[in-house]
Structure 1
Amino acid sequence: MIAALVLMAFVAARASAPAVAAASPAASSAPTSLANGSAGTAAAASATSTAGAGGVGSGSSVSSAAGSEPGAYDQLTSLLSSDSLDVSMLVGQWVPQLSSKRNGMVVNGTSYDYSAILADHEALRARYSTARLVTSNDWSMFTGRDFWVTVVEQPFASADAANNWCDQQGIGPDDCFAVKLSHTAGPRGSSKPRA
Protein backbone atom coordinates (compact mmCIF):
# COMPACT_ATOMS: atom_id res chain seq x y z
CA MET A 1 0.00 0.00 0.00
CA ILE A 2 2.83 2.39 0.86
CA ALA A 3 4.56 1.49 -2.39
CA ALA A 4 1.36 2.25 -4.25
CA LEU A 5 1.04 5.64 -2.58
CA VAL A 6 4.65 6.45 -3.38
CA LEU A 7 4.03 5.43 -6.98
CA MET A 8 0.92 7.60 -7.09
CA ALA A 9 2.88 10.57 -5.77
CA PHE A 10 5.52 9.95 -8.44
CA VAL A 11 2.88 9.75 -11.13
CA ALA A 12 1.17 12.89 -9.84
CA ALA A 13 4.50 14.72 -9.88
CA ARG A 14 5.06 13.65 -13.46
CA ALA A 15 1.54 14.82 -14.26
CA SER A 16 2.45 18.37 -13.33
CA ALA A 17 5.54 18.16 -15.48
CA PRO A 18 5.40 18.86 -19.21
CA ALA A 19 5.14 15.14 -19.80
CA VAL A 20 1.82 13.32 -19.78
CA ALA A 21 0.45 12.50 -16.31
CA ALA A 22 -1.11 9.36 -15.00
CA ALA A 23 -4.81 8.82 -15.45
CA SER A 24 -5.97 7.44 -12.18
CA PRO A 25 -7.76 9.36 -9.51
CA ALA A 26 -4.93 8.21 -7.29
CA ALA A 27 -1.94 6.55 -8.87
CA SER A 28 -0.55 3.86 -11.06
CA SER A 29 -0.34 0.79 -8.89
CA ALA A 30 -2.35 2.02 -6.04
CA PRO A 31 -5.98 2.94 -6.20
CA THR A 32 -6.71 6.57 -5.89
CA SER A 33 -8.36 7.57 -9.08
CA LEU A 34 -5.49 8.00 -11.40
CA ALA A 35 -6.13 5.65 -14.23
CA ASN A 36 -3.87 2.89 -13.23
CA GLY A 37 -2.55 0.04 -15.13
CA SER A 38 -3.59 -3.47 -14.19
CA ALA A 39 -1.11 -5.41 -12.16
CA GLY A 40 -0.72 -2.07 -10.80
CA THR A 41 -2.85 -1.36 -13.82
CA ALA A 42 -6.11 -0.50 -12.20
CA ALA A 43 -4.29 1.72 -9.80
CA ALA A 44 -2.32 3.48 -12.48
CA ALA A 45 -5.28 5.17 -14.03
CA SER A 46 -7.41 5.59 -11.02
CA ALA A 47 -4.58 6.69 -8.88
CA THR A 48 -4.87 10.21 -10.11
CA SER A 49 -8.54 10.87 -10.44
CA THR A 50 -7.71 14.38 -11.44
CA ALA A 51 -6.24 13.07 -14.60
CA GLY A 52 -8.48 14.73 -17.04
CA ALA A 53 -11.75 16.31 -17.69
CA GLY A 54 -13.71 16.26 -20.85
CA GLY A 55 -14.10 13.18 -22.87
CA VAL A 56 -13.57 11.36 -26.04
CA GLY A 57 -17.26 10.85 -26.23
CA SER A 58 -17.82 14.39 -25.05
CA GLY A 59 -15.40 16.20 -27.27
CA SER A 60 -12.03 15.53 -25.67
CA SER A 61 -9.67 12.86 -26.82
CA VAL A 62 -6.53 10.99 -26.04
CA SER A 63 -3.44 12.31 -27.74
CA SER A 64 -3.39 10.73 -31.14
CA ALA A 65 0.27 9.88 -31.35
CA ALA A 66 -0.82 6.68 -33.02
CA GLY A 67 2.28 6.74 -35.17
CA SER A 68 3.24 3.19 -35.97
CA GLU A 69 0.04 1.56 -34.73
CA PRO A 70 -2.88 3.37 -36.33
CA GLY A 71 -4.95 0.17 -36.45
CA ALA A 72 -4.80 -0.44 -32.69
CA TYR A 73 -5.32 3.24 -31.89
CA ASP A 74 -8.32 3.36 -34.23
CA GLN A 75 -9.78 0.24 -32.57
CA LEU A 76 -9.34 1.81 -29.13
CA THR A 77 -11.10 5.01 -30.21
CA SER A 78 -13.86 2.94 -31.81
CA LEU A 79 -14.40 0.99 -28.56
CA LEU A 80 -14.33 4.24 -26.63
CA SER A 81 -17.02 5.67 -28.86
CA SER A 82 -19.21 2.55 -28.77
CA ASP A 83 -18.95 2.36 -24.96
CA SER A 84 -19.62 6.05 -24.34
CA LEU A 85 -23.41 5.78 -24.03
CA ASP A 86 -23.21 2.88 -21.57
CA VAL A 87 -20.57 4.66 -19.52
CA SER A 88 -22.49 7.95 -19.50
CA MET A 89 -25.15 6.20 -17.43
CA LEU A 90 -22.53 5.57 -14.71
CA VAL A 91 -21.77 9.21 -13.89
CA GLY A 92 -21.85 9.72 -10.14
CA GLN A 93 -21.75 5.96 -9.48
CA TRP A 94 -19.08 3.78 -7.90
CA VAL A 95 -17.70 1.18 -10.33
CA PRO A 96 -14.78 -1.26 -10.28
CA GLN A 97 -11.73 -0.09 -12.23
CA LEU A 98 -9.78 -3.00 -13.72
CA SER A 99 -6.96 -1.35 -15.63
CA SER A 100 -5.42 1.87 -16.81
CA LYS A 101 -2.64 2.04 -19.35
CA ARG A 102 -0.94 4.77 -21.31
CA ASN A 103 1.13 4.50 -24.47
CA GLY A 104 4.77 4.02 -23.45
CA MET A 105 3.96 2.86 -19.90
CA VAL A 106 5.86 -0.12 -18.50
CA VAL A 107 4.05 -2.34 -15.96
CA ASN A 108 5.67 -5.45 -14.49
CA GLY A 109 8.20 -5.51 -17.32
CA THR A 110 5.60 -5.16 -20.07
CA SER A 111 5.87 -2.09 -22.29
CA TYR A 112 2.46 -0.85 -23.37
CA ASP A 113 1.95 0.54 -26.84
CA TYR A 114 -1.51 0.91 -28.39
CA SER A 115 -1.55 -2.73 -29.50
CA ALA A 116 -0.73 -3.96 -25.98
CA ILE A 117 -3.31 -1.60 -24.45
CA LEU A 118 -5.93 -2.93 -26.86
CA ALA A 119 -4.98 -6.54 -26.05
CA ASP A 120 -5.16 -5.81 -22.29
CA HIS A 121 -8.61 -4.27 -22.63
CA GLU A 122 -9.91 -7.03 -24.93
CA ALA A 123 -8.70 -9.72 -22.50
CA LEU A 124 -10.58 -8.00 -19.67
CA ARG A 125 -13.64 -7.58 -21.88
CA ALA A 126 -13.56 -11.29 -22.74
CA ARG A 127 -13.44 -12.18 -19.05
CA TYR A 128 -15.94 -9.55 -17.86
CA SER A 129 -18.73 -8.96 -20.37
CA THR A 130 -19.57 -5.57 -18.84
CA ALA A 131 -16.02 -4.19 -19.11
CA ARG A 132 -16.04 -0.79 -20.80
CA LEU A 133 -13.33 1.54 -22.04
CA VAL A 134 -12.96 5.17 -20.98
CA THR A 135 -10.10 7.62 -21.23
CA SER A 136 -8.76 9.67 -18.35
CA ASN A 137 -9.04 12.78 -20.51
CA ASP A 138 -12.83 12.56 -20.33
CA TRP A 139 -13.26 12.39 -16.57
CA SER A 140 -12.35 15.09 -14.04
CA MET A 141 -11.54 12.70 -11.21
CA PHE A 142 -8.49 11.28 -12.99
CA THR A 143 -5.24 13.16 -12.44
CA GLY A 144 -3.30 11.70 -15.32
CA ARG A 145 -3.87 12.33 -18.99
CA ASP A 146 -3.97 9.93 -21.93
CA PHE A 147 -4.78 6.80 -19.94
CA TRP A 148 -7.04 4.13 -21.41
CA VAL A 149 -9.06 2.89 -18.44
CA THR A 150 -11.15 -0.28 -18.20
CA VAL A 151 -14.10 -0.07 -15.82
CA VAL A 152 -16.96 -2.45 -15.16
CA GLU A 153 -20.39 -1.22 -16.23
CA GLN A 154 -21.97 -2.19 -12.94
CA PRO A 155 -22.87 0.69 -10.64
CA PHE A 156 -22.67 0.35 -6.88
CA ALA A 157 -24.10 2.57 -4.14
CA SER A 158 -20.78 2.68 -2.29
CA ALA A 159 -17.06 2.24 -2.79
CA ASP A 160 -17.13 -0.71 -0.40
CA ALA A 161 -19.75 -2.46 -2.52
CA ALA A 162 -17.66 -1.94 -5.69
CA ASN A 163 -14.57 -3.23 -3.88
CA ASN A 164 -16.57 -6.22 -2.67
CA TRP A 165 -17.26 -7.06 -6.33
CA CYS A 166 -13.48 -7.08 -6.89
CA ASP A 167 -13.07 -9.39 -3.89
CA GLN A 168 -15.77 -11.75 -5.16
CA GLN A 169 -14.03 -11.94 -8.55
CA GLY A 170 -10.73 -12.87 -6.86
CA ILE A 171 -8.90 -9.90 -8.40
CA GLY A 172 -5.90 -8.49 -6.53
CA PRO A 173 -6.13 -5.10 -4.79
CA ASP A 174 -3.77 -3.38 -7.24
CA ASP A 175 -5.78 -4.62 -10.22
CA CYS A 176 -9.30 -3.74 -9.12
CA PHE A 177 -10.70 -1.02 -6.90
CA ALA A 178 -13.59 1.39 -6.64
CA VAL A 179 -13.75 4.67 -8.57
CA LYS A 180 -16.60 7.17 -8.71
CA LEU A 181 -16.99 8.46 -12.26
CA SER A 182 -17.43 12.20 -12.58
CA HIS A 183 -17.05 15.00 -15.09
CA THR A 184 -16.96 17.65 -12.36
CA ALA A 185 -15.49 16.23 -9.12
CA GLY A 186 -11.77 16.10 -8.47
CA PRO A 187 -9.74 13.09 -7.40
CA ARG A 188 -10.22 13.49 -3.64
CA GLY A 189 -12.78 10.94 -2.51
CA SER A 190 -13.23 9.57 -6.04
CA SER A 191 -11.49 6.26 -5.46
CA LYS A 192 -11.05 3.80 -2.66
CA PRO A 193 -8.10 1.43 -2.57
CA ARG A 194 -8.47 -2.13 -1.35
CA ALA A 195 -6.35 -3.49 1.48
Structure 2
Amino acid sequence: MAIREIIEVPDPRLKVVSDPVTLFDDDLKTLVADMFETMYDAPGIGLAAIQVGVPLRVLVIDLQPDDEDAEPVACNHDGHHHHHQPTKKEPRVFVNPVLSEPSDEHAIYNEGCLSVPEIYAEVERPARIRAQWQDLDGKHYDEVIDGMLATCLQHEMDHLEGILFIDHLSRLKRQMALKKLQKIRQAA
Protein backbone atom coordinates (compact mmCIF):
# COMPACT_ATOMS: atom_id res chain seq x y z
CA MET A 1 0.00 0.00 0.00
CA ALA A 2 1.12 3.51 -0.71
CA ILE A 3 -0.06 7.05 -0.29
CA ARG A 4 -0.52 8.57 -3.73
CA GLU A 5 -0.40 12.22 -4.67
CA ILE A 6 -3.81 13.90 -4.79
CA ILE A 7 -4.11 16.12 -7.83
CA GLU A 8 -5.58 19.58 -7.29
CA VAL A 9 -7.30 22.26 -9.36
CA PRO A 10 -6.51 23.43 -11.98
CA ASP A 11 -5.03 20.04 -13.02
CA PRO A 12 -6.71 19.24 -16.37
CA ARG A 13 -7.06 15.56 -15.41
CA LEU A 14 -9.85 16.56 -13.00
CA LYS A 15 -11.97 17.37 -16.08
CA VAL A 16 -11.49 13.91 -17.61
CA VAL A 17 -14.43 11.50 -17.85
CA SER A 18 -13.29 8.25 -16.22
CA ASP A 19 -13.50 4.84 -17.91
CA PRO A 20 -15.46 1.84 -16.64
CA VAL A 21 -13.54 -0.87 -14.80
CA THR A 22 -13.47 -4.08 -16.82
CA LEU A 23 -10.77 -6.02 -14.96
CA PHE A 24 -11.48 -6.91 -11.34
CA ASP A 25 -7.87 -7.88 -10.69
CA ASP A 26 -5.06 -7.31 -8.20
CA ASP A 27 -4.28 -3.93 -9.77
CA LEU A 28 -7.78 -2.79 -8.86
CA LYS A 29 -7.38 -4.07 -5.30
CA THR A 30 -4.04 -2.25 -4.99
CA LEU A 31 -5.55 0.96 -6.38
CA VAL A 32 -8.41 0.82 -3.87
CA ALA A 33 -6.09 0.03 -0.94
CA ASP A 34 -3.90 2.99 -1.94
CA MET A 35 -6.96 5.22 -2.32
CA PHE A 36 -8.13 4.41 1.22
CA GLU A 37 -4.66 5.02 2.62
CA THR A 38 -4.42 8.31 0.72
CA MET A 39 -7.90 9.39 1.82
CA TYR A 40 -7.33 8.60 5.52
CA ASP A 41 -3.97 10.35 5.41
CA ALA A 42 -5.44 13.52 3.88
CA PRO A 43 -7.81 13.17 5.84
CA GLY A 44 -11.02 12.99 3.85
CA ILE A 45 -14.27 11.05 3.68
CA GLY A 46 -14.38 10.31 -0.04
CA LEU A 47 -12.01 9.95 -2.97
CA ALA A 48 -12.38 9.18 -6.67
CA ALA A 49 -9.62 7.37 -8.57
CA ILE A 50 -9.10 10.36 -10.88
CA GLN A 51 -8.05 12.38 -7.82
CA VAL A 52 -4.94 10.19 -7.67
CA GLY A 53 -4.58 10.52 -11.44
CA VAL A 54 -6.26 7.23 -12.45
CA PRO A 55 -9.22 7.75 -14.82
CA LEU A 56 -11.25 4.74 -13.69
CA ARG A 57 -14.80 4.65 -12.33
CA VAL A 58 -13.80 3.80 -8.75
CA LEU A 59 -14.85 5.62 -5.57
CA VAL A 60 -13.95 5.04 -1.96
CA ILE A 61 -16.03 6.53 0.84
CA ASP A 62 -15.79 6.33 4.60
CA LEU A 63 -17.98 8.77 6.50
CA GLN A 64 -16.22 7.58 9.70
CA PRO A 65 -19.18 8.21 11.98
CA ASP A 66 -18.21 9.55 15.37
CA ASP A 67 -18.96 7.38 18.34
CA GLU A 68 -21.46 9.58 20.21
CA ASP A 69 -20.76 8.04 23.62
CA ALA A 70 -16.97 8.07 23.49
CA GLU A 71 -15.20 10.20 26.06
CA PRO A 72 -12.63 12.48 24.40
CA VAL A 73 -9.85 11.36 26.74
CA ALA A 74 -9.61 8.03 28.49
CA CYS A 75 -7.47 7.46 31.55
CA ASN A 76 -5.35 4.32 31.82
CA HIS A 77 -4.89 2.65 35.18
CA ASP A 78 -1.27 3.73 35.16
CA GLY A 79 -2.41 7.33 35.21
CA HIS A 80 -1.39 8.09 31.63
CA HIS A 81 -3.97 9.62 29.37
CA HIS A 82 -4.53 8.19 25.95
CA HIS A 83 -6.94 9.40 23.30
CA HIS A 84 -9.53 6.93 22.12
CA GLN A 85 -9.96 6.35 18.41
CA PRO A 86 -12.58 9.03 17.75
CA THR A 87 -14.05 7.34 14.70
CA LYS A 88 -14.85 3.85 13.58
CA LYS A 89 -13.89 2.98 10.06
CA GLU A 90 -16.66 1.94 7.67
CA PRO A 91 -14.86 1.76 4.32
CA ARG A 92 -17.07 1.45 1.25
CA VAL A 93 -15.99 0.85 -2.34
CA PHE A 94 -18.11 1.74 -5.35
CA VAL A 95 -16.91 0.41 -8.73
CA ASN A 96 -18.74 1.52 -11.91
CA PRO A 97 -21.43 3.33 -9.90
CA VAL A 98 -24.61 4.44 -11.65
CA LEU A 99 -27.00 6.85 -9.94
CA SER A 100 -30.67 7.18 -10.84
CA GLU A 101 -34.11 8.11 -9.49
CA PRO A 102 -33.06 11.31 -7.69
CA SER A 103 -35.63 12.44 -5.12
CA ASP A 104 -37.56 15.67 -5.59
CA GLU A 105 -36.53 16.53 -2.06
CA HIS A 106 -33.12 18.18 -1.86
CA ALA A 107 -30.52 18.45 0.87
CA ILE A 108 -27.88 21.13 1.31
CA TYR A 109 -24.47 20.25 2.71
CA ASN A 110 -21.36 22.31 3.18
CA GLU A 111 -19.03 20.39 0.88
CA GLY A 112 -15.28 20.32 0.53
CA CYS A 113 -12.90 18.39 -1.70
CA LEU A 114 -9.34 17.13 -1.37
CA SER A 115 -8.67 18.41 -4.91
CA VAL A 116 -9.92 21.90 -3.96
CA PRO A 117 -8.15 22.19 -0.61
CA GLU A 118 -9.51 24.38 2.19
CA ILE A 119 -12.51 25.59 0.19
CA TYR A 120 -16.02 24.82 1.46
CA ALA A 121 -19.35 25.73 -0.08
CA GLU A 122 -22.98 24.78 0.27
CA VAL A 123 -24.21 22.53 -2.53
CA GLU A 124 -27.79 21.43 -3.03
CA ARG A 125 -28.34 17.86 -4.25
CA PRO A 126 -31.15 15.29 -4.28
CA ALA A 127 -31.59 13.98 -0.74
CA ARG A 128 -32.07 10.41 -1.92
CA ILE A 129 -30.84 8.48 -4.92
CA ARG A 130 -30.78 4.95 -6.21
CA ALA A 131 -27.26 3.59 -6.65
CA GLN A 132 -26.10 0.55 -8.57
CA TRP A 133 -22.47 -0.46 -8.34
CA GLN A 134 -20.01 -3.33 -8.16
CA ASP A 135 -17.52 -4.34 -5.49
CA LEU A 136 -13.88 -5.41 -5.90
CA ASP A 137 -14.98 -8.86 -7.03
CA GLY A 138 -17.41 -7.50 -9.60
CA LYS A 139 -20.49 -8.39 -7.55
CA HIS A 140 -23.51 -6.14 -8.25
CA TYR A 141 -25.41 -4.04 -5.70
CA ASP A 142 -28.57 -1.97 -5.96
CA GLU A 143 -29.64 0.26 -3.08
CA VAL A 144 -31.59 3.40 -2.29
CA ILE A 145 -29.27 5.72 -0.36
CA ASP A 146 -30.01 8.88 1.61
CA GLY A 147 -28.43 11.23 4.13
CA MET A 148 -24.77 12.14 4.15
CA LEU A 149 -23.82 9.06 2.12
CA ALA A 150 -26.14 10.15 -0.72
CA THR A 151 -24.48 13.57 -0.80
CA CYS A 152 -20.98 12.14 -0.66
CA LEU A 153 -21.72 9.55 -3.33
CA GLN A 154 -23.10 12.22 -5.67
CA HIS A 155 -20.06 14.43 -5.02
CA GLU A 156 -17.64 11.58 -5.79
CA MET A 157 -19.72 10.45 -8.76
CA ASP A 158 -19.31 13.93 -10.25
CA HIS A 159 -15.55 13.37 -10.34
CA LEU A 160 -16.09 10.46 -12.72
CA GLU A 161 -17.74 12.90 -15.12
CA GLY A 162 -15.02 15.53 -14.72
CA ILE A 163 -17.18 17.74 -12.49
CA LEU A 164 -16.02 19.40 -9.26
CA PHE A 165 -18.32 20.56 -6.47
CA ILE A 166 -17.43 24.19 -7.19
CA ASP A 167 -18.88 23.68 -10.69
CA HIS A 168 -22.31 23.60 -9.01
CA LEU A 169 -21.83 27.13 -7.67
CA SER A 170 -22.74 30.35 -9.42
CA ARG A 171 -19.93 31.70 -11.57
CA LEU A 172 -19.26 34.48 -9.07
CA LYS A 173 -19.09 32.13 -6.09
CA ARG A 174 -16.83 29.77 -8.01
CA GLN A 175 -14.44 32.60 -8.94
CA MET A 176 -14.38 33.76 -5.32
CA ALA A 177 -13.57 30.23 -4.14
CA LEU A 178 -10.72 29.84 -6.63
CA LYS A 179 -9.34 33.29 -5.72
CA LYS A 180 -9.41 32.30 -2.06
CA LEU A 181 -7.57 29.08 -2.89
CA GLN A 182 -4.92 31.09 -4.77
CA LYS A 183 -4.42 33.34 -1.71
CA ILE A 184 -4.09 30.32 0.58
CA ARG A 185 -1.50 28.79 -1.75
CA GLN A 186 0.49 32.02 -1.96
CA ALA A 187 0.55 32.26 1.83
CA ALA A 188 1.82 28.68 2.17
Structure number with larger C-alpha Rg: 2
Q: Say whether the fold is shared (TM-score over 0.5).
A: no
Structure that is richer in strand per residue: 2
Q: What TM-score do the two structures reach when normalised by structure 1?
A: 0.27
Q: What TM-score do the two structures reach when normalised by structure 2?
A: 0.28
Which of structures 1 and 2 has the larger relative contact order (alpha carbons within 8 angstroms, sep 6+)?
Answer: 1
